[in-house]
Structure 1
């Protein structure tokens, strides 16, 4: 790619570092790493002259596209350990595809970022608090039937498509609330990141089809040089994150995941009020 060969070495190093961090988080927590990528990508694009509104959207779209590669690498590592609950994936994937496509192709272009950031930050903070409380779910609570899983998947796919995240910040707490063990929830969330990324990225391509390139190598909302570098780095790190996840006990993993969620919530609330 000609645009990739023209990137400054410092920018290449920054994008590779982002990919390493995102890939490790994807394997460790079953998330796509989007909440790490989006703020840094926004900063990078802004420094390269992209206006604030477009830089946020390009960061979200590019982040989500990288999640496809990261999730595939992460889920392979979890599947080898037998941790993915494939019936849950089959139950939630149709809703995720619908929600992600609707978000990427429609609502992504019209919703105001501040209101979305506020709702997202409050929800993530609530999820983290529930995990830290360690309150056991009702013993008889199980995953809902396919209709409920489809509806939950649609909500996860829609929210993920709007913020450029793989959905683990919602799907992992949801599954643990339904008595899915945390290691299985993390692994299954990694698998759910694939349909999230496919549907949302397709939506971004449709929504940005007629846009002029904001930078060399940009295609609509996607910044292809960043996509290539981040994906290459994240794919190599995701299996290491998955290995670390299975080496930790349940309490440690829940605490670590809750700390990450609080960090994401603080950032989103800052964006809402700042």
Structure 2
């Protein structure tokens, strides 16, 4: 793909702009960081422009991690200014999360795309079940476990998030809600985890895909499409408020059900592609 002609290059730019529009709309509508939306959208659109099937999922995941860097930093700074972040927990998770991200990036250098798809299916369906059927009474502990439990949670969160191309918000929210933490604190703390995941994750996926440069679209550094990140970021930010305005017109329960269905369908899409 290194020799892509100008028309194909414009085609790539067009589908990535479309990805930004769709991702921004859905991210604003459902109040997520965007990774759970960006990955399936990019997976489809990279297929349109002929990215090899064996590399499509890795490129979608790596590009997603790069895209969510600025949004995760901005979100964390906002939540931190309001004092909503559990900074003690975030510090305890910092090194384990980064360690999990490094492990996930290393796996990306040789793991088949099926691994990434299965991780996406598992996390997406777990989140969908929690959103669709979960109750406030669903808890497994009165608080976040002490060490070594906290470090184990951090490593697993970093690993799964890196393989899925998300900032960890879905996973952290699940863990903290099951451990009896309030939702606002869960969302705020997960924004800090997003910073810990997205930056080393994007760098790791660049390194993991370095040997595949000749098979990837132009302006890619490893498994990160620079043109993808550059086009998705501004369009997603521009369109997200439209989705947010739509969200305010719908009941919270309706949004939860619709997003649960979206995640379930995306998980099913990846599961079917494995058959």
Q: TM-score, normalised by structure 2?
A: 0.79
1:39 alignment partner in structure 2: 40
Structure 2: gaps spanning 5 or more residues = none
Distance in 1 between the 2:92 and 2:255 partners? 25
Give the count of matched residue pairs: 268
Kept in 2, the 8 Å contact 1:27–1:245? The answer is yes
Kept in 2, the 8 Å contact 1:73–1:235? The answer is no
2:124 alignment partner in structure 1: 124
Give how far 1:13 is off. 5.0
Q: Which residue, out of 218, 223, 226, partners 1:224?
A: 226
Distance in 1 between the 2:242 and 2:142 partners? 32
Give how far 1:226 is off. 0.9
Kept in 2, the 8 Å contact 1:23–1:32? The answer is no
Kept in 2, the 8 Å contact 1:128–1:259? The answer is yes
Distance in 2 between the 1:75 and 1:246 partners? 22
1:97 equivalenced with 2:98 (yes/no): yes
- Alignment of structure 1 residues 233-248 onto 2, 5 Å: 233-235=235-237
Kept in 2, the 8 Å contact 1:176–1:185? The answer is yes
Q: How has the CA–CA distance of structure 1 residues 45 and 125 changed in structure 2, closer, same or farther, with 3 Å as cutoff?
A: closer
Structure 1: gaps spanning 5 or more residues = none
Distance in 1 between the 2:128 and 2:88 partners? 26
Q: How has the CA–CA distance of structure 1 residues 115 and 219 changed in structure 2, closer, same or farther, with 3 Å as cutoff?
A: closer
1:262 alignment partner in structure 2: 264
Give how far 1:215 is off. 2.5
- Alignment of structure 1 residues 1-274 onto 2, 5 Å: 7-8=9-10, 11-12=12-13, 14-23=15-24, 31-104=32-105, 106-114=106-114, 116-118=116-118, 120-131=120-131, 132-138=133-139, 141-213=142-214, 214-235=216-237, 255=257, 258-273=260-275
RMSD value, Cα: 3.4
